[in-house]
Amino acid sequence: MNKLKLFVVLIVFFVAMGLCFADDDSKLVGLWKLVSFDVEFQSTGKTQPAMGKNISGFLLFTAEGRAFFILTGEGRKPAKTEKEKAALLDSLVAYTGKHRVEGDKWITKVDVAWNPEWIGTEQVRTFKMEGDRLIVMTPWNVHPNWPERGMTRRTIVFQRDK
């Protein structure tokens, strides 16, 4: 009889945990418009806009569990030369994949990305919600667009788009 009670308690626990994660996930579903994108340098502790002040971008979480993420930097213009075309990649961050929420983390299993090195990886982002704002923080790492900056982390703020 004790084994049956333990089994029932475990099932209730796992169902409740699943509902908690599903509830966290459902809060993210929808379209989010970029407000700011800042980079913090581990070596100095200084923070600055990652790709300028006049940036644009969106984040979309679907009910089916997919995330679409695209950010573009300030001052992008149509490229005329190969060098200009290559430089445009430094002012772009874009990826998509299936995502899941684990507590205060959103994890995307990347299947398409502007940077092929990210395909097949799991990109982990810590997030918190403040009203209709979503504040996202990356872990410390070397960003592929700016390896010369060394170890950085980015804070990205989105506003729910209506």
- Write out the H or E segment, with its range, that includes residue 21: helix 2-28
pLDDT, residue 26, reads 82
- Write out the H or E segment, with its range, that includes residue 156: strand 151-160
Which pLDDT tens digit goes with each residue over 115-149?
999 999 999 999 999 999 999 999 999 999 999 99
Secondary structure class of 29 (helix, strand, coil)? coil
Which pLDDT tens digit goes with each residue over 44-87?
999 999 999 999 999 999 999 999 999 999 999 999 999 999 98
Going along the chain from its start, the domains and CATH numbers come out as: 2-160 (2.40.128.280)
> pTM (2 decimals)?
0.81
